[in-house]
Structure 1
């Protein structure tokens, strides 16, 4: 008889624990802070990251100029293919008020520096070590590029690899007057 009561007691405890777990999951899903999805026309959220050379970059520091904000990873094939095109256009547009800021997602300094050196990249590359900027910008696929105009508004969001002609055209579209 004692065995049946122990089994019943265990069943009740397990049921209560399961209900608590299910309740916690439902609560987390239902009441989790919702992240606003950025859209064309929105102000680009400001952030501050440090590049590989130790320079701080705030998006707000680029006000009055265009920003080609590119999120990428060292392991990402499409990112690797578009980087030489970005470098070429960076050199062409740097003096025209259009800047590239490349944000690597959580790579190690060593890997990102090796990548930069291998591709001979000269534009600023910062590492989002905590993924805080990635979360604010709702980055899912890599590469993702935000074209930000001189007022700091998002002109376009590109969530795929681009050709050199596309990169050039996009940089022209955010070039200040």
Structure 2
């Protein structure tokens, strides 16, 4: 009888220990989930391939040697719309100085994006992230968010929210080769 009680006590202790370890792990995972997988300044920018509105494929790694102004946006986003003309102006100045703009539209139809491009006479490449894969890889929240990438492919700055024309100019200067 005593041996049976001892085995039961050991079994209960093992089960209780496993449960305690599981609870500790879940609590730890919840508190650190925001930091895991989140893009940070100094990280190598994850490579991707997206198609622009004209059907051309753009691979981020093909822009090595140039600075990249990587902007995530949506046509419905008023701050996004407000900064687009500024981006367009600065692109015209910096494209010959080795800085590219890649504007990544998040999950919208080609029709809506083309209408927006025509309305604002955008001249830089507009890429479509229909499935939001790149958005998720980069951990982008909110829109607009801009990621600055130096000529070596490293993230130098992450800006969340609307940018002024002076901000855009300074950011583009910061990644010039």
Alignment partner, residue 121 of structure 1: 122
In 2: Cα distance, 1:169 partner to 1:158 partner: 12
What whole-Å deviation, never above 9, does each CA across 1:68-123 have from its counterpart, x for those lacking one?
00000000000000000000000000110000000000010000000000000010
SS at match of 2:70: strand
TM superposition outliers: structure 1 runs of 4+ over 2 Å: none
Provide the residue aligned with 2:113 in structure 1: 112
Distance 1:96 1:67 in 2: 11
Q: Look up the match of 1:170.
A: 171
CA positional deviation for 1:36: 0.8
The separation in 2 between residues aligned to 1:92 and 1:55, in whole angstroms, is 23
Q: Distance in 1 between matches of 2:115 and 2:38?
A: 33
Alignment pair present for 1:55 and 2:46 = no
Aligned equivalents of 1:104, 1:148: Cα separation in 2: 18
- SS of residue matched to 1:50: strand
| Distance across 2 between alignment mates of 1:53 and 1:108 | 13
For 1:72, the equivalent position in structure 2 comes to 73
- RMSD over aligned CA atoms reads 1.7
> Aligned pairs, how many?
148
Question: Is the aligned partner of 1:43 residue 2:44?
Answer: yes
What is aligned with 2:4? Answer: none
Give the C-alpha shift of residue 131 in structure 1: 0.6
Matches within 5 A, 1:1-177: 36-176=37-177
Q: For 1:160 and 1:174, locate their aligned partners in 2 and report how far apart those are by CA, in whole Å.
A: 19
Distance in 2 (alpha carbons) for counterparts of 1:139 and 1:108: 20
Shift of 1:140: 1.2
| d(CA) in 1 for partners of 2:55, 2:128 | 11
